[in-house]
Amino acid sequence: MLKRIVSTFSFWLPVSLLSAQTRPLPVIDMHLHAEHIKKGAAPLCIGAPFRDLGIHDPKNDYREVFQDALTTNAWADHSLCSPGSSDSLRILTIIAMRKNNVYGVTSGDIETVRNWKKEAPDRVIPSVYWDFNSALNRGLTVDSLEKIFQSGEFKVFGEISIQYEGYAASDSAFDPYLSMAERLDIPVGIHIGCGPPGAPYLNTRNYRAKLHSPFVLEEALIRHPRLRVYAMHAGWPMLDDMIAMLYTHPQLYVDLAGICFMIPKNELYFYLHRLVNAGFGKRIMFGSDNMIWPGAIEAGIQRITEADFLTNDQKRDILFNNAARFLRLTEEQIKQMP
Ligand SMILES: [Zn+2]
d(CA 132, CA 114): 21
Task: State the DSSP string of 184-222.
Answer: HT--EEEE-S--STTGGGTT-TT--GGGGSGGGGHHHHH
pLDDT, one tens digit per residue, over 196-205 is: 999 999 989 9
Q: Cα(163) to centroid of ligand 1, in Å? A: 9
pLDDT, one tens digit per residue, over 312-324 is: 999 999 999 999 9
Residues in the chain: 338
pLDDT, one tens digit per residue, over 108-153 is: 999 999 999 999 999 999 999 999 999 999 999 999 999 999 999 9
Taking 70 as the threshold, does the pLDDT of residue 89 lie above it?
A: yes
In Å, how far are 23, 273, 316 from 268, measured between CA atoms? 27, 8, 18
Q: Cα(158) to centroid of ligand 1, in Å? A: 9
Instruction: Please report which confidence band the pLDDT of residue 1 belongs to, taking 50, 70 and 90 as the band edges.
Output: very low
Q: Cα(255) to centroid of ligand 1, in Å? A: 10
| Letter string b/e over residues 150-189, b meaning 16 or more CB atoms within 10 A of that residue's CB | eeeebebbbbbbbbbbebbbbeeebeebbebbbeeebbbb
Tell me the one-letter amino acid at 237. Answer: P
Domains in the chain, CATH or no CATH each: 23-38+83-335 (3.20.20.140)
Among residues 88, 54, 296, the alpha carbon closest in space to that of 195 is found at 54
Q: Cα(160) to centroid of ligand 1, in Å? A: 8
Taking 50 as the threshold, does the pLDDT of residue 288 lie above it?
A: yes
Quote the mean pLDDT of the chain: 93
Q: Identify the residue with better confidence: 338 or 18.
A: 338
Q: Give the pLDDT score at 21.
A: 57
Mean pLDDT of 242-265: 97
